[in-house]
Amino acid sequence: MIPELGNLALILALCLAVLQGTLPLAGSLTGNARWVALARPVAVGQALFVTFAFAVLVHAFAVNDFSVAYVAANSNTALPLVYRITATWGGHEGSLLLWVQTLALWTIAVAAFSRQLPRATVARVLAVLGLVAIGFLCFMLFTSNPFDRALPAPPDGRDLNPLLQDVGMIVHPPLLYMGYVGFSVAFAFAIAALVGGQLDAAWARWARPWTLVAWTFLTLGIFLGSFWAYYELGWGGWWFWDAVENASFMPWLVGAALIHSLAVTEKRGAFRNWTVLLAILAFSLSLLGTFLVRSGVLTSVHAFASDPRRGLFILVFLAIVIGGSLALYAWRAPTIGLGGRFALFSRESLLLVNNVLLLVAAATVLLGTLYPLFLDALGGGKISVGPPYFETVFVPLMIPVLALIAVGPAVAWKSGSLRDVAVRLRPAALLAAVLGAAAFLVLHVTPAVALGLLLAAWTLIATAQHLVRNLLHAPRGTPLVARATRQGAAWWGMVVAHAGVGIFVIGVTLVKGTETADDVSLRVGATALAGDYLFKFESLEKIRASNYVGARGTFTVTRGGERVATLYPEKRFYTVQQMPTTEAAIDRGFARDLYVSLGELTKDGTWIVRVQHKPFMGWIWAGALVIAAGGLLAAIDRRYRTRRVPAADAARAAPDIAIPVPSPSRSA
């Protein structure tokens, strides 16, 4: 009975979403204040019904209600409770419900934290979110209902894929979806601006924190996915340029471009058109990502036996959303205007270059991801585009990005002096060059590694210089706290995120350039070498848990005779799905990870073992976390804080606050 209530809640949510997507929008255009006022209550109601449905599905998993087909397909009585709950989003239908649930959370957040916005804008933003919700609710109700019954109920479920039985499953999908779906808010703001024909610094100030928070979530979500793959898939890889990873990486790249473009729109009123276009693109790529992962066109860890027919629905939905918003953009963008002018050498122009590079990078990833699909769909045969392509293309594109990341903040808005900047950054450039050369000549790294280290050093040194310069630039005797808080949180966010990029680049460069891995055949008592670390296979014992059996090895690692770590890799066999998994053991250190995984047991009783030494692996994770911290810091800037603006100010900031009339298209 309870699952039927969940189904009913979804239907009611759809009805409310239809109201939410139409009346407030129409009201904002015709001046019907009642319809405009409907936006908040209807949106919140819709979100609450979705939340109820989500709770019902979680409940069905918690109580092992295998009469629900989706629960039977993704859970099992032997599965621990925490994984039964996370199994809610372990398959297609539940992932969609999680998507809609995330949209509901963002909708409630917008409804709650938009008191300072003009009513018409709120109505339009919530209406766009409602339209998005309609699409996903229809998709769920008509093609992939998580509450479908399978009667008679099977005695037990088919279990969650063993690879998903992990802490990563608790946090990775929700965080990633908070990022993906969070771009729907930026998108809704962009559409609202297009509909209203008005976009100014105030608009950018509203849209910025939302975009920053979404982007921060996406950063964390991607980071966790990578972190999880690193230890769970058992082979020590952390980024595979797999289509599903690319699907999350493309909106991240465009999102990074968007937050920079929004900064220009807010500070200088420039890049207006461009910002709106980026917001549309970021969300479109989020939808495309959902399509790629959920339609079954991809083969990966994320697409277990999904149904290709559903792809058609998402494809049509995608065409409507992207086509519709781009058409609206083409029609209305001239009313928004281009914004302020700037000199050839200015922070604006450097940020424009940053935007172009990030966008080109996203486009190359898109090409490599979609081309094989198109070719296959057109009957051109099966091909694949692997990591070599992405590395050949992506890395060179990131070199100018890294070179500019340190320059941008040093250049003045509107018109900068090339000479001043050159003088100011010369010491940092020299120091970075010396460090890169030293790495090459003294440590004998490859030229590519030396270049990576040089760029990372450049980013970190110039960012640190920028930081110190700003702290010093105050009257004598100013206390440090006052110096630090003189700059807003947004500025600190930028400094922190840029430093995070530097840390990340160090990690990637050293891991890719200097890691060692070896697959060896080992008996208990034998040793293998990775880097200058000696791995000894000490012993092996049998293990047994509620839903798997297996073997656990004990390895001691020594370096120069000195004991460094003891590692316990496992080989598990999950009994319900009859599936073996490899549980790697990792000793994480400041300057290196030691990684050992058990391959297979051969007939003569030896194990195939992979031993790895990964220098500075932790710096990749640290860099990603620091970048995310920067994003969060920027989002909490007091300037974005929601206090009601004084009436006169409000009228200036948003002329359409009182009488929401259709604004005449001002031709540019």
Partner 1 sequence: MTSRLKSRHKRLILLAGALVALGIATALVLSAFRKNLVFFITPTQILSGDAPRDRAFRIGGMVQAGSLQRQADGVTVDFVVTDLAHSVKVHYRGILPDLFKEGKGVVAQGRLDAHREFVAEQVLAKHDENYMPPEAADALKKGAAVAAVTGTGTGKERP
Binding site for partner 1 (CB under 8 A): 161, 163, 233-235, 299-301, 304-305, 341, 343-344, 349, 352-353, 356-357, 360, 363-364, 367-368, 371, 381-386, 388-389, 392-393, 396-397, 519-521, 577-582, 597, 599-600, 602-604, 606, 608, 610
Distance between CA atoms of residues 396 and 201, nearest Å:
34
Secondary structure of residue 428 in the 3-state scheme: helix
What are 533's strand-pairing partners?
Answer: 530
Least spacing, CB of residue 582 vs partner 1, in Å: 6
Output 420 or 600, the one with its CB closest to partner 1.
Answer: 600
Q: How far is the CB of 329 from partner 1 (least distance, A)?
A: 19
Q: Is 74 in contact with 157 (CB distance < 8 Å)?
A: yes
How far apart are CB 297 and partner 1 at their closest, in Å?
10
What's the min distance (Å) between Cβ of 611 and partner 1? 11
Least distance in Å: CB of 226 to partner 1? 16
Nearer to partner 1 by C-beta: 308 or 664? 308
Which residue is associated with the tokens 């471009």? 257
From the list 45, 58, 43, 41, the residue with the least C-alpha distance to 6 is 58
**Rounded Cα–Cα distance for residues 117 and 654 (Å):** 9
Shortest separation between residue 343's beta carbon and partner 1, angstroms: 7
- Count of residues in the chain: 668
- Which residue lies nearer to partner 1 by CB, 113 or 371? 371
Count CB-CB contacts under 10 A for residue 606: 16
How far is 192 from 656, CA to CA, in rounded Å? 12
Q: Which is nearer to partner 1, 357 or 508 (CB)?
A: 357
- What is the Cα–Cα distance from 172 to 248, expressed in whole angstroms? 12
Distance CA 404, CA 38 (A): 47
Q: Which is nearer to partner 1, 109 or 375 (CB)?
A: 375
User: CB of residue 610 vs partner 1: minimum separation in angstroms?
Assistant: 6
Task: Judge whether 119 and 34 are in contact, CB under 8 Å.
Answer: no
Q: Rounded CA gap, 456 and 424, in Å? A: 18
Tell me how far, at minimum, the Cβ of 577 lies from partner 1, in Å. Answer: 6
Q: Which is nearer to partner 1, 275 or 349 (CB)?
A: 349
In the numeric block, the tokens 């600190």 are attached to: 492
Q: Which is nearer to partner 1, 173 or 507 (CB)?
A: 173
Minimal distance in Å, beta carbon 418 to partner 1? 14
CB of 300 to partner 1, least distance (A): 7
Q: Give Cβ neighbours of residue 370 (< 8 Å, ≥ 6 apart).
A: none
If the CB atoms of residues 234 and 251 are measured against partner 1, the closer one turns out to be 234
First-to-final CA distance of the chain: 59
**Residue nearer to partner 1 on the CB measure, 48 or 404:** 404
How many other C-beta atoms can be found within 10 angstroms of the C-beta atom of residue 336?
A: 23
Query: What is d(CA 400, CA 330) in angstroms, rounded to the nearest whole number?
Result: 31
Q: How far apart, in whole angstroms, are the C-alpha atoms of residue 310 and residue 200?
A: 40
Task: Choose between 245 and 656: whose C-beta lies nearer to partner 1.
Answer: 245
Q: How far is the CB of 195 from partner 1 (least distance, A)?
A: 29
Q: Is the dihedral of CA 263, 268, 273, 274 positive or negative?
A: negative
**DSSP string of 61-129?**
HHTT-TTBHHHHHH--TTS-HHHHHHGGGSSHHHHHHHHHHHHHHHHHHHHHT-TTS-HHHHHHHHHHH
518 versus 589: smaller Cβ distance to partner 1:
518
